[in-house]
Amino acid sequence: MSRAQLTPELRGPENAANAEDVVAEGLWSDVWRRFKHNPIALAGFYAVCVLACMALFADFIANDKPYYLHYRGKSYFPILRSYLVGLGIGQWPEELPRIDFKKLEGATAFYPPIPYRPTNISLLEPLEPPSAKHWFGTDKLGRDVAAGMIHGSRISLSIGFVAVGIAALIGIVLGAIAGYFGSWTDLAISRFFEIMLSIPTFFLLITIAALLPPSIFLTMAIIGATSWVGMARFTRNEFLRIRNLDYVTAAVALGVSDRKVMFKHILPNALAPVIVSVVFGIGGAILVESSLSFLGIGVPAEAVTWGSILQEGSTTTFAWWLAVFPGFAIFITVLAYYLVGEGLREVLDPRLRGLR
Amino acid sequence: MGSYLVQRMLLMIPTFVGITLIGFLIMRLAPGDPAELRAAGGLGAAGGAGISLEKRGAVDEAMAQWRAQYGLDRPLHVQYLVWLENLFTLNFGESFKDSQPVWGKIAERLPVTIKLNLWSILIVYLVAIPLGIYSAIYANSAGDQITTVLAFGLFAVPLVWAATMAIVFICGGDFYYLFPPGGVESVDFSEHWSFWRKFQDHAWHLFLPVVLLSYSGFAALSRYMRSSMLEVLRQDYVQVARAKGLKERVVICKHVLRNSLIPQVTLLADLLPGLIGGSVIIETIFSIPGLGQLGFESVLARDYPTVLALFTVSAVLTLIGILISDLLLAVVDPRIAFGRRQQ
């Protein structure tokens, strides 16, 4: 906000004296410029960035291996080393243990802020309330909840992105075909949309997820395959509107192929409402994933996700920390995406332009 | 009106066939043979790796018999047609789990779920409409901004979290005991209680599930109500009404409200699928013996006939919801009456 106010060249096109400046500016820089004038949406955007970083650097925030280890006169960087070993480039030093670094005697080590992995079972301290040692307490196997949540953000975010990516692909292609060709094609595909709209989606989802073997990738695919209808309808309506514009008629008259007209000429102009529903869709997919893993279907049983911690909280009712923290994480994540989506909607919706 | 109704219902037939076809294909094409599962369950061994060859033969024979009994050995399209045919007599077949007729199981559990959902719809509308009206009349005031933020926040609250928090903090446990953690009636419930006492008991048990089922709905609906009302408030005829000296109260109640309520009617159809999905979660968490709980249990047990039947029933409920909202729309808005529903 404050930076934008300091730089006069970033002022809106309303203030620009020269009309050519407005034309020269791309849609997305225009969107970003107006988006960042909305502090709430911007807060959502930053929250999304922080969450993405948390997922990306989960190994550096919560890990049972130290960043740096000095042991018997030699220095090691176990976390980095574990990446190399994982990629098949490096070897694990023979003299180092693979599992428990904390039992090494006479070693100097710097640990991440949460010195546990979600898989570290410690049966001696089950269901411990939050303390300095375990910030968010432990579950009934003594696993650190904070570590589980940090690593669980990976599952949530990747499911959100991949599922919505799949949904957007299906939705945009089907919507584009229906809207561009119109008449019978449109009628048939619209019938299909209506079927998908009347299907109790969540029930369909748990049915497929429970019938197939538990897997994160299958869960992503299933959520994607059941949540594209909204995007398809937006795309269809935009295509119906745009295909009658003069520039499309001109392109068709010039002999440009259908596919090129659809995806090179119309789609870029039809994307705005789709993008809004993509952003909302990511939040929705994260919500659905949390419900699925709460019910214990879809995601493998050994994977620690926000939903699975929450599930344990609902059965061990005295352990309030199992209910409060993971649920709050889901809430904040979903809210962040919704705020970004709402901000984008205000910026992108031509009917709302100039109202603010 | 009659021809409109018939037309709408005819249009629903292909939709209905499509829905059941999708459900049917998913059940039948999913990996995992129900006969195999049943055999494995009966033997207490996975697959039968540990049993001798002649025993394996006997098992295979039993499995073939069982498949024949449920018609699973016939080609897919025949199975589907037989299933559709049976549908007309509400014969959904027998449950794989306990060989009880599926329709009996559903009929037993349908009332609770319908009760839960009707109350939720009622609460959604009762809370959302006044809230939306308030927000629109006092647009951009502090009160409007607070309700906007609240509605937006509520919309992002995961149902599983809200339910878990309720269970942990106000349903017994170590904190407060304001509501029961599950069930639909008290343990000592008896038919001899007075009507009022029965009602109280049910209300006490269903309060939390209903509120939890409806909160995301009223968050969404109040937003729609607000924007639809704002749109009407901008119309010229509202200005005319004000200009001719009508009281603001009359303008709002007589001129604005009626027109801005119209779009809300169609939202009923959009609410239903969400409510049915929510029922699965809420009924499972609060152990309410309704369709959602039955659905979840049958899905886990791979009880295909029951799952397919529930799938069909909830699709029919949704279609009925769409039909009702279309009819209501035709009733409240003479401009759209008897025409096709606008996208």
Candidate from A191, A210, A342 with C-beta closest to B299: A210
Q: Give residue A15's Cα distance to chain centre.
A: 36
Q: Which residue of B96, B161, B267 is the best one to mutate when testing the A interface, meaning the one whose CB has the most A CBs within 10 A?
A: B161
A74-76 β-sheet, strand order: A74-76, A68-71, A108-110
> Which pair of structure tokens corresponds to residue B288?
């309410």
For the cut 90, the answer to whether the pLDDT of residue A337 exceeds it is: yes
Is the distance from CB of B309 to CB of B320 less than 8 angstroms?
Answer: no
For the cut 70, the answer to whether the pLDDT of residue A9 exceeds it is: no
Q: Helix B304-332 and helix B2-29: axis angle, to 10°?
A: 160
For the cut 60, the answer to whether the pLDDT of residue B48 exceeds it is: no
pLDDT score, position B340 = 45
Q: A20-34, A51-65, A326-340, B175-189: which range is least confident on average?
A: A20-34
N residues, chain A: 356
Highest mean pLDDT among B87-91, B243-247, B255-259, B300-304: B243-247
The confidence band for A13, taking pLDDT boundaries of 50, 70 and 90, is: very low
pLDDT score, position A352 = 53
For the cut 70, the answer to whether the pLDDT of residue A298 exceeds it is: yes
Between A327 and A133, the higher pLDDT residue:
A327
> Is residue B168 within 8 angstroms of chain A, CB to CB?
yes
For the cut 60, the answer to whether the pLDDT of residue A166 exceeds it is: yes
Highest mean pLDDT among A324-328, B58-62, B144-148, B194-198: A324-328
pLDDT score, position A351 = 58
Q: A263-272, B154-163, B207-216: which range is least confident on average?
A: A263-272
> Which pair of structure tokens corresponds to residue B289?
């013996």
> Is residue B157 within 8 angstroms of chain A, CB to CB?
yes
pLDDT score, position B245 = 87
For residues A270 and A277, give the distance between their C-alpha atoms in angstroms, rounded to a whole number: 12
Residue whose token pair is 């949390």: A290
Q: Which residue of B160, B175, B230, B271 is the best one to mutate when testing the A interface, meaning the one whose CB has the most A CBs within 10 A?
A: B160
For the cut 50, the answer to whether the pLDDT of residue B44 exceeds it is: no
Q: A161-165, A267-271, B47-51: which range is least confident on average?
A: B47-51
| Nearest by Cα to B14 from B22, B2, B4 | B22
Q: What percent of chain A has pLDDT over 90?
A: 19
Q: How far is B289 from chain A (nearest CA, A)?
A: 17
pLDDT score, position A53 = 94
B254 φ/ψ angles, rounded to the nearest 5 degrees: -90, -35
For residues B228 and B332, give the distance between their C-alpha atoms in angstroms, rounded to a whole number: 15
| Nearest by Cα to A3 from A30, A52, A50, A39 | A39
Instruction: Report the DSSP beta bridge partners of residue A107.
Output: none
Q: How far is CA A98 from CA A85, A103, A142, A319, B188, in A?
A: 11, 11, 20, 32, 58
Is the distance from CB of A105 to CB of A66 less than 8 angstroms?
Answer: no
Q: How far is CA A43 from CA A5, A38, A276, in A?
A: 17, 9, 17
What one-letter code names the amino acid at A308? S
Angle (CA) B183-B189-B192 rounded to 5° is 150
The confidence band for A55, taking pLDDT boundaries of 50, 70 and 90, is: very high
pLDDT score, position A142 = 84
pLDDT score, position A297 = 86
A76 φ/ψ angles, rounded to the nearest 5 degrees: -135, 155
Q: Give the global pTM.
A: 0.84
> Which pair of structure tokens corresponds to residue B30?
């999913």
Torsion of CA A219, A222, A225, A227, to 10 degrees: -70
Radius of gyration of chain B from its Cα atoms, rounded to whole angstroms: 25
The DSSP string of A17-61 is S-HHHHHHS-HHHHHHHHHTT-HHHHHHHHHHHHHHHHHHTHHHH
Q: Other C-beta atoms within 10 Å of A351: how many? A: 7
Average pLDDT of span A56-83? 84
pLDDT score, position B73 = 74
Q: Which residue of A has its CA nearest to B307?
A: A207
pLDDT score, position B51 = 57
Residue whose token pair is 């607000």: B226
For residues B245 and B238, give the distance between their C-alpha atoms in angstroms, rounded to a whole number: 11
For the cut 60, the answer to whether the pLDDT of residue A12 exceeds it is: no
| Nearest by Cα to B210 from B147, B275, B258 | B275
For the cut 90, the answer to whether the pLDDT of residue B189 exceeds it is: no
Q: A57-66, A344-353, B169-178, B288-297: which range is least confident on average?
A: A344-353
For the cut 90, the answer to whether the pLDDT of residue B311 exceeds it is: no
Instruction: Report the DSSP beta bridge partners of residue A238.
Output: none
Q: Which residue of B has its CA nearest to A336?
A: B156
> Is residue B139 within 8 angstroms of chain A, CB to CB?
no
Average pLDDT of span B45-53? 52
Residue whose token pair is 């934008």: A4
Candidate from A194, A323, A328 with C-beta closest to B15: A194
Candidate from B32, B285, B318 with C-beta closest to A198: B318
A325 φ/ψ angles, rounded to the nearest 5 degrees: -70, -55
Average pLDDT in chain A: 82
pLDDT score, position A56 = 92
For the cut 80, the answer to whether the pLDDT of residue B13 exceeds it is: yes
Residues contacting residue A156 through CB under 8 Å, at least 6 positions apart: A55, A286, A289, A290, A305, A306, A330, A333
The confidence band for A6, taking pLDDT boundaries of 50, 70 and 90, is: very low
Residues contacting residue B242 through CB under 8 Å, at least 6 positions apart: B248, B251
Radius of gyration of chain A from its Cα atoms, rounded to whole angstroms: 25
For the cut 70, the answer to whether the pLDDT of residue A113 exceeds it is: yes
Q: What is the pLDDT of residues A184-204, one digit of tens each?
A: 888 888 888 888 888 888 888
Q: A25-29, A175-179, B272-276: which range is least confident on average?
A: A25-29
For the cut 90, the answer to whether the pLDDT of residue A47 exceeds it is: yes
Angle (CA) A327-A329-A334 rounded to 5° is 95
Is the distance from CB of A309 to CB of A293 less than 8 angstroms?
Answer: no
Residue B18 is classified by DSSP as H
Instruction: Report the DSSP beta bridge partners of residue A110.
Output: A68
The confidence band for B336, taking pLDDT boundaries of 50, 70 and 90, is: low
| Nearest by Cα to A320 from A69, A127, A42, A79 | A127
For residues B239 and A55, give the distance between their C-alpha atoms in angstroms, rounded to a whole number: 53
Candidate from A207, A313, A320 with C-beta closest to B26: A207
Average pLDDT of span A50-56? 93
For the cut 70, the answer to whether the pLDDT of residue B46 exceeds it is: no
For the cut 50, the answer to whether the pLDDT of residue A83 exceeds it is: yes
Residues contacting residue A25 through CB under 8 Å, at least 6 positions apart: A13
Q: What percent of chain B has pLDDT over 90?
A: 7
- B 311-340: CB under 8 A from A: 311, 314-315, 318-319, 322
